[in-house]
Structure 1
């Protein structure tokens, strides 16, 4: 399993409740693609949201986001972490 950081743009004004709802929607179906969403962060001012996940491929991560209505603008593999 690889680790991915995906980035969503254009979510200006996102609230903590909206972020939680989006993350929960991903968690509800993540197993369909063998993905696990670890955590999500947001900057409501810039409208940027970040999600950290593990999964078999960036395509699997994107398929979950597509199904829950918040397609990622970027997905980056994270090969090194401490």
Structure 2
């Protein structure tokens, strides 16, 4: 299954780690409907950036989970390969 890194370049002002954790839980609850597996996320809230690593059949499927769950959409989604 393809692996994607999505980048949220402008997180909502005032986003907290607690709110981000809640959004991630919502993603986990909804991911199966789209054949998606969210693996990990990282954040730098001082600059408003969030990164999500996700296995998905397509970038569109990964985006659909965010869109339907909480509306925090990534600005960019890159298909990536894991290095060894």
How high is the TM-score relative to the length of structure 2? 0.89
Indicate the residue corresponding to 1:9 in structure 2. Answer: 9
CA contact (8 A) 1:4 1:58 kept: yes
User: 2: distance between equivalents of 1:59 and 1:35?
Assistant: 10
User: 2: distance between equivalents of 1:42 and 1:33?
Assistant: 24
Give the match's secondary structure for 2:47. Answer: coil
Indicate the residue corresponding to 2:40 in structure 1. Answer: 39
* Pairwise CA distance, 1:81: 2.5
Structure 1: runs of 5 or more not aligned: none
Give the match's secondary structure for 1:49. Answer: strand
CA contact (8 A) 1:14 1:42 kept: no
User: 2: distance between equivalents of 1:81 and 1:30?
Assistant: 25
Aligned length: 82
User: 2: distance between equivalents of 1:62 and 1:73?
Assistant: 10
Alignment of 1:1-82 (within 5 A): 1-11=1-11, 12-68=13-69, 69-82=71-84
* Pairwise CA distance, 1:45: 1.0
How high is the TM-score relative to the length of structure 1? 0.91
Deviation digits for residues 19-59 of structure 1 (CA, Å, limit 9, x no counterpart): 11111110010000000001111111110000001010101
